[in-house]
């Protein structure tokens, strides 16, 4: 579940029992041969019960085991191979995400058989120079990381890897549909909802409706999305006039006028990106936020200048420009200039973990200050042209990026600005144009995220219709697929969890009474939205939709809707915030907390099995949707939400001492979730994922307490439902990408690293010291 603020401004190195190192301030000493064999006798016991010391460690000719000597990496790996015996052949998720393409040249002949076995199992990764580092020392922590990979591959003991054991059958059989980057419970439910929407559309398509009715507009949009033949005949024609205006702009003023004309016609500006939403310091009133120039890659890809990603992005931009008629050499040169420009923007932009922090994204500028920022552009006139000039301030969501963007907007940079505008227009609209444009985007995504194959034309048409024609779909969806019984039951569950949260706050031993009172007040005034909005959005009523036969196109229909939505957004500027609005459709498989409204929203789309099932055990529902509800409540008190009061205003309601303790607890969570391995060689970022980890931990604490208050509670139903909720598979490429660009921890970490903080888990499964899932009581973390 993603927090609204972030979405608007944007898109195990050790076993759990060894997460704290006593050598934090110095290099850990290398492990000894004796330490390695002793750790393996414990780690492999459940998988190879007859294993003994003699079978693991071999001595020299004189029988001396030299247990006190530092162990070489290759020796430790061979001992691991002996201890665990035969390893499963990687399939499904393991086959996708483990490392197999290694060819070590430094493995001694006596170790080759064992090392080859570990390579085949995807257990090993190479050093930067491609070697194994066979004769390097290895620390206990490094060796423990390799053991966790074996545990995960085996996936047969909850004591060592709960997530893998509960989900192993699903993970092994998992597939990623063509054209997709992942598969998960969220995706499965979205697919189910999509199938239900398909039926709604198909049922309408065989009937006749009057022109201009909701039903006919929906049918005509879907027809335009499905008509690839007509789209291919048009080629680039739908945006040709805008491309021509960009190409023919001889001055910066002309380019700005071309951009503003396009925004006036279709609601799309490439140089001036704004949004309207509640003022973070006065949440009752809508304010103007400046987003700034956008980029085609995430910040990390630019800053690290990943060679593969850079080449793919430049090639993608080059291909788009060639498709408009540019010569290859010129197109490539322009693409490289755009890359350089965007890289400079990325270098100064906020890190992802900063984007949800109100102190970073709330930078109010007077109109004079905003105008002065742009030395060669009259921003007062721009705002007037955009019909955004009715306010006295502009809030910059990333002031350094805004400054850097303003530096680029000069006459001297006209050529690169034209190339940038052209590339961004093509990349934004490629999926609405002919096949070559869409193919270019698919090829780029395939390289970036490891996507294989592509969706069918019908799947794409449904996706576009569902995302664009929300207002005409969600009411019918709710009527058919969300019962009043479910709505009432979930409302009662939310009330129960809020009450439980209040009880937990009252018993906190680290927070003073004045701050507790403020926190409880925020809980008591929290707005809860379940299922669907009180009133349906009517923006689409003003839009004309035509299929190709009637003179329309997928592009014209999509941007007619876009223009209506943009105009609706602009009309709210300076007006009171409508707290009844929803920012997601009722069929969305998501939930969120909005700090500006102090509200939690649970659309009907997520209130279905396996998240919520009227036929399931209450404990199972609490482990899934109950944890989700607690998660969203917790966002009101995470590192970003805690900056807002009960009215949704960014305001400090903490005592200094309490806030100091809160930050200390945040730091403990950062360290607890940081450096945990996602896939071999890729680590979780505790700072980046802090807000979501706080929410996961708080959500489990509250929902688990509800379970604990039941008569004879079934904790297994709770924990296993929770683990199944997070089952997830993806490509290796996306796993690497998301480790630096997504604010949620990996699904396995969200399960394993969260449940180990609750004694009920240990008591239910008999987790004990030495087990992979064991964390000593003093090392466990909690906040709420």
- Check which CATH number belongs to the domain holding 678 and give it: 3.40.390.10
From 382, 417, 432, the end of a domain falls on 432
- Give the pLDDT confidence score for residue 7 in this predicted structure: 37
For residue 477, how many other CB atoms are within 10 A of its CB?
22
Residue 195 lies in a domain: no
Mean pLDDT of 285-309: 95
**Residue among 739, 776, 740 at smallest CA distance from 757:** 776
Q: Are residues 528 and 401 in the same domain?
A: no
For residue 295, how many other CB atoms are within 10 A of its CB?
22
- Give the pLDDT confidence score for residue 217 in this predicted structure: 97
Average pLDDT value over all residues in the chain: 94
Torsion over CA of 204, 210, 216 and 217, rounded to 10 degrees? -160
- Give the pLDDT confidence score for residue 274 in this predicted structure: 97
pLDDT band at residue 4 under the 50/70/90 scheme: very low
Contact 19, 779 (CB under 8 A): yes
- Give the pLDDT confidence score for residue 459 in this predicted structure: 95
Structural domain including 49 reads: 16-154
- Give the pLDDT confidence score for residue 9 in this predicted structure: 33
Q: Are residues 402 and 491 in the same domain?
A: no
Pairwise CA distance, residues 718 & 726, whole Å: 13
- Give the pLDDT confidence score for residue 1 in this predicted structure: 54
- Give the pLDDT confidence score for residue 59 in this predicted structure: 72
Q: Are residues 497 and 630 in the same domain?
A: yes
Number of structural domains in the chain: 3
> What are the residues facing 593 on neighbouring strands?
600
Q: Are strands 282-290 and 393-396 parallel, antiparallel or unpaired?
A: parallel
Q: Residues 500-544: pLDDT tens digits?
A: 999 999 999 999 999 999 999 999 999 999 999 999 999 999 999
pLDDT of 706 > 80? The answer is: yes
The enclosing domain of 427 has a CATH number of 1.10.1380.10
Q: Which helix (H) or strand (E) holds 279?
A: strand 274-279
User: Following DSSP, what letter does each residue of 77-88 receive, concatenated?
Assistant: HHHHHHHH-S-P
Pairwise CA distance, residues 566 & 260, whole Å: 14
Pairwise CA distance, residues 729 & 176, whole Å: 8
Q: Are residues 591 and 685 in the same domain?
A: yes
Pick the residue with more confidence: 12 or 558?
558
Contact 80, 118 (CB under 8 A): yes
Q: Residues 26-47: pLDDT tens digits?
A: 678 999 999 999 999 999 999 9
Q: Are residues 615 and 758 in the same domain?
A: yes
What length is written for the chain? 784
- Give the pLDDT confidence score for residue 347 in this predicted structure: 97
**Residue among 551, 682, 589 at smallest CA distance from 230:** 551
**Residue among 626, 539, 608, 591 at smallest CA distance from 185:** 608
Q: Are strands 728-730 and 182-184 parallel, antiparallel or unpaired?
A: antiparallel
Residue 300 lies in a domain: yes
Residue 46 lies in a domain: yes
Q: Residues 543-555: pLDDT tens digits?
A: 999 999 999 999 9
The lowest-confidence range among 10-24, 237-251, 551-565, 632-646 is 10-24
Which residues 6+ apart lie within 8 Å of 621 measured at CB?
Answer: 493, 612, 613, 721
Peptide bond preceding 610 in cis form (omega within 30 of 0): yes
- Give the pLDDT confidence score for residue 580 in this predicted structure: 94
- Give the pLDDT confidence score for residue 5 in this predicted structure: 37
Q: Are residues 488 and 635 in the same domain?
A: yes
Q: Are residues 495 and 573 in the same domain?
A: yes
From 154, 171, 206, the end of a domain falls on 154
Residue 335 lies in a domain: yes
pLDDT band at residue 65 under the 50/70/90 scheme: confident
pLDDT band at residue 22 under the 50/70/90 scheme: very low
Pairwise CA distance, residues 152 & 158, whole Å: 10
Pairwise CA distance, residues 442 & 312, whole Å: 12
- Give the pLDDT confidence score for residue 10 in this predicted structure: 33
Mean pLDDT of 435-456: 96
Pairwise CA distance, residues 89 & 118, whole Å: 10
Pairwise CA distance, residues 599 & 680, whole Å: 39
Residue 545: strand, helix, or coil:
coil
> What are the residues facing 282 on neighbouring strands?
279
Residue 552: strand, helix, or coil:
coil
Q: Are residues 562 and 474 in the same domain?
A: yes
Q: What percent of the chain has pLDDT over 90?
A: 93
Residue 363: strand, helix, or coil:
strand
Q: What is the DSSP letter of 625?
A: I
Q: Which helix (H) or strand (E) holds 423?
A: helix 414-429
Q: What is the DSSP letter of 276?
A: E
The CA-based angle 421-422-426, given to 5 degrees, is 115
pLDDT of 21 > 80? The answer is: no
| Residue whose tokens read 């040249």 | 105
Compute the 3-state secondary structure of the chain and give helix, strand, coil in percent, each to the nearest 5.
55, 5, 35
pLDDT band at residue 20 under the 50/70/90 scheme: very low
Mean pLDDT of 485-495: 92
Residue 129: exposure state from Cβ atoms within 10 A (0-12, 13-18, ≥19)? exposed
Which residues 6+ apart lie within 8 Å of 351 measured at CB?
Answer: 299, 688
The lowest-confidence range among 47-61, 164-178, 459-473, 691-705 is 47-61
- In 116-251, DSSP assigns E strands to 182-184
The lowest-confidence range among 59-73, 162-176, 204-218, 662-676 is 59-73
Pick the residue with more confidence: 170 or 614?
170
From 385, 416, 432, the end of a domain falls on 432
Residue 67: strand, helix, or coil:
coil
| Residue whose tokens read 């430049």 | 314
Residue 268 falls in which region: left (phi positive, over 0), alpha (psi -120 to 50) or beta: beta
Residue 437 lies in a domain: no
Q: Are residues 136 and 263 in the same domain?
A: no
- Number of helices followed by number of strands (H, E) in the chain: 35, 11
Q: Are residues 264 and 407 in the same domain?
A: yes
The lowest-confidence range among 50-64, 329-343, 696-710, 746-760 is 50-64
Q: Are residues 296 and 416 in the same domain?
A: yes
Pairwise CA distance, residues 414 & 417, whole Å: 5
Instruction: Compute the chain's Rg from CA coordinates.
Output: 28
Max CA-CA distance within the chain? 95
For residue 101, how many other CB atoms are within 10 A of its CB?
7
Q: Residues 253-296: pLDDT tens digits?
A: 999 999 999 999 999 999 999 999 999 999 999 999 999 999 99
Q: Are residues 334 and 413 in the same domain?
A: yes
Cα within 13 Å of Cα(86), Cβ side: 2
Residue 531 lies in a domain: yes
**Residue among 478, 483, 459 at smallest CA distance from 585:** 478
Q: Residues 338-377: pLDDT tens digits?
A: 999 999 999 999 999 999 999 999 999 999 999 999 999 9
Extract the tokens encoding 72. Answer: 């070489």
pLDDT of 243 > 70? The answer is: yes
| Per-residue buried b or exposed e for 79-88, using 16+ beta carbons within 10 Å of the residue's own CB | bbbbbbeebe
**Residue among 745, 758, 653, 728 at smallest CA distance from 694:** 745
Pick the residue with more confidence: 723 or 64?
723
For residue 753, how many other CB atoms are within 10 A of its CB?
27
Mean pLDDT of 65-70: 91
Residue 341 lies in a domain: yes
Q: Residues 106-148: pLDDT tens digits?
A: 999 999 999 999 999 999 999 999 999 999 999 999 999 999 9
Residue 521 lies in a domain: yes
- Give the pLDDT confidence score for residue 60 in this predicted structure: 67
pLDDT band at residue 185 under the 50/70/90 scheme: very high
For residue 212, how many other CB atoms are within 10 A of its CB?
10
């Amino acid at each position: 579940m993603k927090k609204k603020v972030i979405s608007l401004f944007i898109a195990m190195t050790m076993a759990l029992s060894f997460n704290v190192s006593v050598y934090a301030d110095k290099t850990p000493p290398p492990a000894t041969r004796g330490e390695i064999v002793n750790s393996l006798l414990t780690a492999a016991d459940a998988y190879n019960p007859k294993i003994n010391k003699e079978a693991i460690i071999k001595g020299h000719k004189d029988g001396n085991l030299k247990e006190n000597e530092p162990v070489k990496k290759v020796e430790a790996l061979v001992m691991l191979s002996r201890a665990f015996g035969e390893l499963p052949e990687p399939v499904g998720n393991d086959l996708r995400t483990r490392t197999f393409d290694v060819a070590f040249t430094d493995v001694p002949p006596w170790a080759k058989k064992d090392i080859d076995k570990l390579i085949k199992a995807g257990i090993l990764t190479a050093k930067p120079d491609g070697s194994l580092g066979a004769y390097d020392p290895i620390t206990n922590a490094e060796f423990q990381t390799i053991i966790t990979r074996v545990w995960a591959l085996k996936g047969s003991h909850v004591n060592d890897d709960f997530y893998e054991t509960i989900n192993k059958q699903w993970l092994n059989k998992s597939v990623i549909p063509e054209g997709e980057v992942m598969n998960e419970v969220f995706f499965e439910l979205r697919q189910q909802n999509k199938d239900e929407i398909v039926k709604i559309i198909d049922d309408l398509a065989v009937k006749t409706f009057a022109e201009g009715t909701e039903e006919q507009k929906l049918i005509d949009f879907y027809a335009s999305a499905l008509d690839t033949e007509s789209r291919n005949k048009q080629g680039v024609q739908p945006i040709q006039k805008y491309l021509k205006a960009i190409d023919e702009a001889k001055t910066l003023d002309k380019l700005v006028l071309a951009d503003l004309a396009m925004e006036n016609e279709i609601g799309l500006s490439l140089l001036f990106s704004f949004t309207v939403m509640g003022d973070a310091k006065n949440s009752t009133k809508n304010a103007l936020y400046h987003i700034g120039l956008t980029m085609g890659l995430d910040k990390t890809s630019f800053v690290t200048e990943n060679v593969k990603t850079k080449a793919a992005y430049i090639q993608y931009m080059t291909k788009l420009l060639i498709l408009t008629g540019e010569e290859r050499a010129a197109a490539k040169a322009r693409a490289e200039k755009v890359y350089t420009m965007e890289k400079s923007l990325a270098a100064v932009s906020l890190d992802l973990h900063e984007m949800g922090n109100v102190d970073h994204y709330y930078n109010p500028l007077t109109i004079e200050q905003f105008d002065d920022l742009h030395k060669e552009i009259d921003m007062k006139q721009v705002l007037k042209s955009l019909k955004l000039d009715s306010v006295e301030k502009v809030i910059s969501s990333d002031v350094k990026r805004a400054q850097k963007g303003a530096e680029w907007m000069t006459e001297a940079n006209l050529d690169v600005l034209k190339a940038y505008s052209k590339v961004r227009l093509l990349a934004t609209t490629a999926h609405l144009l002919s096949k070559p444009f869409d193919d270019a985007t698919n090829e780029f995504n395939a390289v970036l995220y490891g996507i294989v194959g592509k969706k069918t034309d019908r799947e794409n048409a449904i996706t576009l219709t569902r995302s664009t024609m929300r207002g005409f779909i969600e009411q019918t969806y709710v009527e058919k697929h969300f019962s009043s019984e479910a709505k009432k039951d979930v409302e009662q569950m939310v009330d129960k969890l809020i009450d439980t949260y209040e009880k937990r706050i009252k018993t906190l031993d680290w927070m003073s009474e004045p701050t507790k009172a403020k926190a409880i007040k925020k809980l008591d005034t929290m707005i809860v939205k379940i299922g669907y909005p009180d009133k349906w959005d009517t923006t689409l009523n003003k839009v004309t939709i035509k299929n190709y036969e009637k003179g329309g196109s997928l592009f014209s229909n999509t941007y007619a809707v876009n223009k209506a939505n943009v105009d609706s957004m602009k009309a709210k500027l300076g007006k009171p915030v409508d707290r009844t609005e929803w920012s997601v459709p009722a069929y969305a498989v998501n939930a969120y907390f909005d700090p500006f409204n102090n509200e939690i929203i649970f659309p009907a789309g997520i209130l279905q099995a396996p998240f919520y099932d009227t036929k399931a055990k209450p404990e199972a529902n609490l482990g899934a949707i109950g944890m989700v509800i607690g998660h969203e409540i917790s966002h009101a008190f995470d590192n970003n939400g805690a900056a807002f009061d009960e009215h949704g205003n960014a305001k400090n309601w903490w005592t200094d001492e309490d806030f100091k303790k809160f930050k200390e607890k945040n730091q403990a969570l950062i360290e607890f979730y940081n450096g945990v391995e996602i896939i071999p060689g890729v680590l979780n970022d505790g700072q980046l994922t802090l807000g979501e980890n706080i929410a996961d931990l708080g959500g489990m604490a509250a929902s688990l307490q509800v379970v604990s208050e039941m008569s004879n509670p079934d904790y297994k139903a709770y924990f296993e439902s929770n683990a199944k909720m997070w089952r997830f598979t993806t490509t290796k490429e996306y796993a690497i990408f998301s480790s630096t660009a997504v604010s949620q921890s990996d699904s396995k970490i969200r399960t394993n690293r969260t449940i180990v903080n609750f004694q009920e888990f240990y008591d239910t499964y008999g987790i004990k010291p030495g087990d992979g899932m064991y964390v000593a009581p003093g090392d466990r973390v909690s906040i709420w």
